[in-house]
Amino acid sequence: MPRKDKKVITSVLPGFMELLPADQLLFNHLKDTIRTAYEKHGFIPLDTPAIERAEVLLAKAGGETEKQIYNFTKGDNDLALRFDLTVPLARYVSEHANELNFPFRRYHIAKVYRGERPQKGRFREFYQCDIDIIGRDSLSLINDAEILSVIYSVFSDLDLPKFQIRISNRKLVLGLLQELKLDKQAIEIMRLIDKADKISEADLKKTLIDLNIAPEPIIKIMAFINIKGDTKQVIQALQKLNINNEVYQAGLMELVEVIKNVKFLGVPDSVYSLDLSIARGLDYYTGTVYETVLVDYKEVGSICSGGRYDSLAENYSDQKFPGVGISIGLTRLFSQLRTLGIIKPEVSSPTRVVIVPFDKSAAPLALEIGSKLRQKGVATEIYLEEAKFKNKLSYVNKLGVKYAVIIGEEEIIGKFFILKDMISGDQARLSEKELLKNLFE
Q: Does 399 bind a copy of itself (CB under 8 A)?
A: yes
Binding residue for a copy of itself (CB under 8 A) from 34, 83, 130, 149?
Answer: 149
Contacting residues for 433 by C-beta, under 8 A, at least 6 apart: none
Q: Does 233 bind a copy of itself (CB under 8 A)?
A: no
Shortest distance in whole angstroms from residue 100 CB to a copy of itself = 7
Q: Does 154 bind a copy of itself (CB under 8 A)?
A: no
Shortest distance in whole angstroms from residue 5 CB to a copy of itself = 10
Considering only residues 93-112, where is the footprint of a copy of itself by CB under 8 A?
A: 94-96, 99-101, 103-106, 111
Shortest distance in whole angstroms from residue 17 CB to a copy of itself = 8
- From 164-172, 194-202, 365-373, 406-414, give the range in contact with a copy of itself by CB under 8 A: 365-373
Q: Does 254 bind a copy of itself (CB under 8 A)?
A: no
Beta-bridged to residue 134, according to DSSP, are 104, 323
Q: Does 19 bind a copy of itself (CB under 8 A)?
A: yes
Shortest distance in whole angstroms from residue 4 CB to a copy of itself = 7
Rg (CA), the chain: 28
Q: Does 269 bind a copy of itself (CB under 8 A)?
A: no
User: What secondary structure does DSSP assign to 415-427, as a single string?
Assistant: TEEEEEETTT--E
Q: Does 300 bind a copy of itself (CB under 8 A)?
A: no
| 53 closest CA partner among 76, 72, 78 | 78
Q: Is 212 helix (H, G, I), strand (E, B) or coil?
A: coil
- From 65-73, 194-202, 211-219, 289-297, give the range in contact with a copy of itself by CB under 8 A: 65-73
Q: Does 316 bind a copy of itself (CB under 8 A)?
A: yes
Binding residue for a copy of itself (CB under 8 A) from 368, 412, 416, 436?
Answer: 368
Q: Does 138 bind a copy of itself (CB under 8 A)?
A: yes
Binding residue for a copy of itself (CB under 8 A) from 10, 242, 270, 424?
Answer: 10
Nearer to a copy of itself, 21 or 215 (CB): 21
Q: Does 286 bind a copy of itself (CB under 8 A)?
A: no
Considering only residues 114-133, where is the footprint of a copy of itself by CB under 8 A?
A: 115, 124-125
Q: Is 4 helix (H, G, I), strand (E, B) or coil?
A: coil
Q: Does 65 bind a copy of itself (CB under 8 A)?
A: no
DSSP 112: E
Count of residues binding a copy of itself (CB under 8 A)? Answer: 107
Q: What is the distance between the alpha carbons of residues 308 and 301, in angstroms, rounded to a whole number?
A: 20
Q: What is the distance between the alpha carbons of residues 354 and 397, in angstroms, rounded to a whole number?
A: 10
User: What secondary structure does DSSP assign to 255-318, as a single string?
Assistant: HHHHHHHHHHTT--GGGEEE-TT---TTS---SEEEEEEETT-GGG--SSEEEEES-TTTTT-S
Given a contact cutoff of 8 angstroms between Cβ atoms, the answer to whether 150 and 266 are in contact is: no
Q: Does 407 bind a copy of itself (CB under 8 A)?
A: no
Considering only residues 379-398, where is the footprint of a copy of itself by CB under 8 A?
A: 379-382, 384-386, 395, 398
Neighbours of 376 (CB within 10 A): 10
Q: What is the distance between the alpha carbons of residues 164 and 424, in angstroms, rounded to a whole number?
A: 38
Shortest distance in whole angstroms from residue 40 CB to a copy of itself = 5
Q: Does 356 bind a copy of itself (CB under 8 A)?
A: no
Nearer to a copy of itself, 151 or 180 (CB): 151
Shortest distance in whole angstroms from residue 247 CB to a copy of itself = 19
Q: What is the distance between the alpha carbons of residues 392 and 355, in angstroms, rounded to a whole number?
A: 10
Element (H, E) at 111: strand 104-113
CA 141 from chain centre, in angstroms, equals 23
Given a contact cutoff of 8 angstroms between Cβ atoms, the answer to whether 392 and 356 are in contact is: yes
Reply yes or no: is the peptide bond before residue 103 cis, omega within 30 of 0.
yes
Binding residue for a copy of itself (CB under 8 A) from 109, 289, 354, 418?
Answer: 354
Q: Does 140 bind a copy of itself (CB under 8 A)?
A: yes
Q: What is the distance between the alpha carbons of residues 354 and 396, in angstroms, rounded to a whole number?
A: 7
Given a contact cutoff of 8 angstroms between Cβ atoms, the answer to whether 388 and 372 are in contact is: no
Q: What is the distance between the alpha carbons of residues 363 and 368, in angstroms, rounded to a whole number?
A: 9
Binding residue for a copy of itself (CB under 8 A) from 34, 52, 251, 411?
Answer: 52
Binding residue for a copy of itself (CB under 8 A) from 218, 250, 340, 363?
Answer: 363
Q: Does 261 bind a copy of itself (CB under 8 A)?
A: yes
